[in-house]
Structure 1
Amino acid sequence: MERLIEKVYAEVSNELSIIYQKRKYTLFFQKIMWLITGAYFVLMLLNIGANYFPNSKNSFLSFFEQFKAAPNNPYANIYPIIGLVILLYPTAYGFARAFQKFKIKETQTIAKMVKMLFPKVSFAQNTAVPTNEIAKSKLFSWINVNSLMYSYGQLRSSTNDNVINIADIGIVEENISNKTIGSFMRIPILNIVLIIYQYVLKNIFTNKSADNVYYTFRGMFCWLRFKKSLNGHTVILTNNQRSKLDRFFSTHFKEEQKIHLEDPRFTDQFIVYGTDQIEARYVLSTALMERIVTLKEKFNQPILLSFQNQQMYLAIKNENGLFSFPSGKLASIKIIEELANDIETALQISTELKLN
């Protein structure tokens, strides 16, 4: 594999440099576009503030008087909007063009790399989101029919009579954080401040491309056949407060209970929920728990798993996505190594966990 990685890098190194430059242009227009929008929102807040000090002699606040509708100038309050449109149009057009060119080159190069590294694996980028599988996995507590989901490509491989599907997905979860923000959005003045933070400042100061800023989950999602037939489900989540709160407040999994396990190395990293204590322990043998911990170390990222019927689901968080390039310079063979390692590890999940 090492020689193959070196060959792939030699083939695409020039393309990686081109992609890096195209992304720089995209981020430049992205920052300018949102900087203009941010400045507009700040001026709008000051304009609103000026209404509370109508008698103020402050020369700065008096500047906004010219934007108040008056009998001799009834359309004065439209001028700032016209100005915003004039400023935003060229930068928005430049961003759209740069982003399109960047994404086309990125998807073409990713496809070339995957096909060179794994020629026997079926790979497609224009695939539908595996919505049903994501819902059946029960890994994401707050997903509902209105949740936004995106697909960036899917691998499919058949080994030892087992088919594994690997998708790169993005999900905007309907979680507690988003619901809280949604509630604050209904409060006048505060909603403008939140818009500036959520949709302006994040885009100005981030080094992520626009399509990656807002996802609650972005990363790899896999599903494959599990040899044991189950009546209920068992879900393995990262052991942190966020997982516990999301599960506690969810209305979808009231039949679940926390599963108590005795492996300290496993329980330090994971928290388990299921519909049946006995069945969960039947699924999570001591050997399987050890192999799951090892699998997490191989991915070096948070992982989520679930077992239901005769299916196993696995999600690995990756802020850049599996089939997208990370931020920063790309002129490194490490880019190829990480992609190859993630895909190879995923393809060997059945063997790694000894599911067959």
Structure 2
Amino acid sequence: MEQKQQLLNKLSPLLQKAEGTRRKYRFYQQVYNNLILLFVMGILSLILMVSLNNIGFSRWMARVMPAQNFGIIQFAMIAYWLLFFVLMTATYRFKNKFKQAEREILKIALDEIAPEFKFETHKQIPPQQIAESKLLPGFTPVRNNKKSPSIHNLNFGVLRGKVGNSSILMGDVNIINQGVYNSYLMFIPLFPHLLVTFNFLRPLVSKHRSSDHFGSHFVGMFAVVDFPKKFKGHTVILPDSIEKRVGYLAKTLQSLNISRGQLVKLENPEFEKHFVVYSTDQIEARYLLSPSLMHRITQLRQKIDKPILLSFHRNKLYLGVRHAHGFLSLDKRKSLIDTDVFGMLYEDITTAIGIVEDLNLNRNIWNTEAPLASN
């Protein structure tokens, strides 16, 4: 606690300066977002009108498009797009200025909080490792081009180091899953327009998402932890949000998720209340998820109070933790002076570094003589 307060005092001038930039950025962004919402809703309304009542739409167009009205419509469109591009330019200008200030604050903070870790601002978690984790859903692409990854990470900034004997790479990720946009689903009438509208409106009703990340599938921390033990199968642990919504039908729906392997049923009601497990090897999954490890994962979820995802593959543990404002980032929605934004950043970093210890991964928690694959 004392370290956090000393660090806050040290960074106070930089936070004051960054707050002015943040306010300008948020103002331009909110107006810009409202313009986008107006455009999206307008286009969607026109498409629905044409689809549901083409004759009525044609009559309405005939009334509003006489020569005397056409000039007014043209002027309104020019004014809209002029304002749109001015606001877009201003938004990205102040966003980049805030990002520079944020990186300066973050570098000083990390030197104090985690001096044993190396902070690399221009590197990112490789998309190939994110795809290999199987923590994000995939879709059937229209063109099966293996050289082009279906998952793209837009954010940069990684921490690299060791916790005990475990090497760990963690970073800030903003995942755009291109699978759905390049899938056969996009040929369904109205689906592309509804998808865009859904992606734009979703952050407005979710505490785990932000309008800063329009179209993003996953925003937050992604970590890769190396182990000396090699896993022969692939085991994935996900938040059990389906069961909370559809109750007894959940297991049937979850069992259909064949892309991640078979649904694994475990004898731990508290763990299964919060998580669902898939694996390519049932025996290995039960061996990995010992009662003590399931208990620690459940405790970790309660501690950080954010959705978490884990998977074991080869000799790695992959871990994802959702953050609405991103990991290694200041929450742009709140004042840097009047709220505890820096305190939340401090807690995010210390919690992330402590995950290896929280899960007891530095110890030999698996018996090296036990079989790891079914015969």
CA–CA separation in structure 2 for the residues paired with 1:30 and 1:225: 40
Alignment of structure 1 residues 293-312 onto 2, 5 Å: 293-312=298-317
Instruction: Tell me if the contact between 1:31 and 1:205 (Cα under 8 Å) persists in the aligned partners.
Output: no
Q: Which amino acid aligns with 1:318?
A: H
CA–CA separation in structure 1 for the residues paired with 2:238 and 2:340: 29
Q: Aligned to 1:98, what secondary structure does the other structure show?
A: helix
Post-superposition offset of 1:324: 1.4
Q: 2:335 aligns with which of 306, 329, 340?
A: 329
Give the 3 Å change call, closer, same or farther, for CA 38–173 of structure 1 in structure 2.
closer
Instruction: Tell me if the contact between 1:170 and 1:217 (Cα under 8 Å) persists in the aligned partners.
Output: yes
Post-superposition offset of 1:232: 0.7
Instruction: Tell me if the contact between 2:125 and 2:222 (Cα under 8 Å) persists in the aligned partners.
Output: no
Q: Which amino acid aligns with 1:353?
A: L
Partner of 2:366: none
Larger RCO of the pair (alpha carbons < 8 Å, separation 6+): 1
CA–CA separation in structure 2 for the residues paired with 1:114 and 1:192: 42
Q: 2:165 aligns with which of 149, 161, 164?
A: 161
CA–CA separation in structure 1 for the residues paired with 2:204 and 2:239: 31
Q: 2:264 aligns with which of 252, 259, 274?
A: 259
Q: Which amino acid aligns with 1:296?
A: R
Identity of aligned residues (%): 26
Alignment of structure 1 residues 104-115 onto 2, 5 Å: 104-115=100-111
**TM-superposition CA deviations, 1:283-342 (whole Å, max 9, x none):** 111111111111222222111111122211111111111111122122267433333333
TM-score by length of 1: 0.79
Partner of 2:25: 26
Partner of 1:172: 176
Alignment of structure 1 residues 1-356 onto 2, 5 Å: 2-39=1-38, 52=56, 62-66=63-67, 81-142=77-138, 145-173=149-177, 182=186, 186-187=189-190, 198-199=199-200, 211-241=212-242, 252-253=259-260, 256-326=261-331, 327-331=333-337, 334-355=340-361, 356=363
Q: Which amino acid aligns with 1:118?
A: A
Instruction: Tell me if the contact between 2:168 and 2:223 (Cα under 8 Å) persists in the aligned partners.
Output: yes
**TM-superposition CA deviations, 1:111-162 (whole Å, max 9, x none):** 2222222222101121133222212212112278233322331111123332
Give the 3 Å change call, closer, same or farther, for CA 149–247 of structure 1 in structure 2.
farther
Instruction: Tell me if the contact between 1:67 and 1:80 (Cα under 8 Å) persists in the aligned partners.
Output: no
**TM-superposition CA deviations, 1:136-191 (whole Å, max 9, x none):** 2121122782333223311111233321111111112357799798456x43xx86
Q: Aligned to 2:349, what secondary structure does the other structure show?
A: helix
Q: Aligned to 2:159, what secondary structure does the other structure show?
A: strand
CA–CA separation in structure 2 for the residues paired with 1:127 and 1:68: 53
Q: Aligned to 1:262, what secondary structure does the other structure show?
A: coil
Q: Which amino acid aligns with 1:113?
A: A
CA–CA separation in structure 1 for the residues paired with 2:7 and 2:130: 32
CA–CA separation in structure 2 for the residues paired with 1:139 and 1:42: 32
Instruction: Tell me if the contact between 1:141 and 1:250 (Cα under 8 Å) persists in the aligned partners.
Output: no
Instruction: Tell me if the contact between 1:306 and 1:313 (Cα under 8 Å) persists in the aligned partners.
Output: yes
Instruction: Tell me if the contact between 2:151 and 2:179 (Cα under 8 Å) persists in the aligned partners.
Output: no
CA–CA separation in structure 2 for the residues paired with 1:225 and 1:102: 34
CA–CA separation in structure 1 for the residues paired with 2:106 and 2:253: 34
Q: CA RMSD in A?
A: 3.9
Post-superposition offset of 1:9: 0.6
Give the 3 Å change call, closer, same or farther, for CA 227–244 of structure 1 in structure 2.
farther
**TM-superposition CA deviations, 1:264-289 (whole Å, max 9, x none):** 11111111111122111111111111
Q: Aligned to 1:215, what secondary structure does the other structure show?
A: coil
Q: Which amino acid aligns with 1:335?
A: V
CA–CA separation in structure 1 for the residues paired with 2:317 and 2:307: 17
CA–CA separation in structure 1 for the residues paired with 2:42 and 2:355: 54
Q: Which amino acid aligns with 1:168?
A: D
Q: Which amino acid aligns with 2:177?
A: E
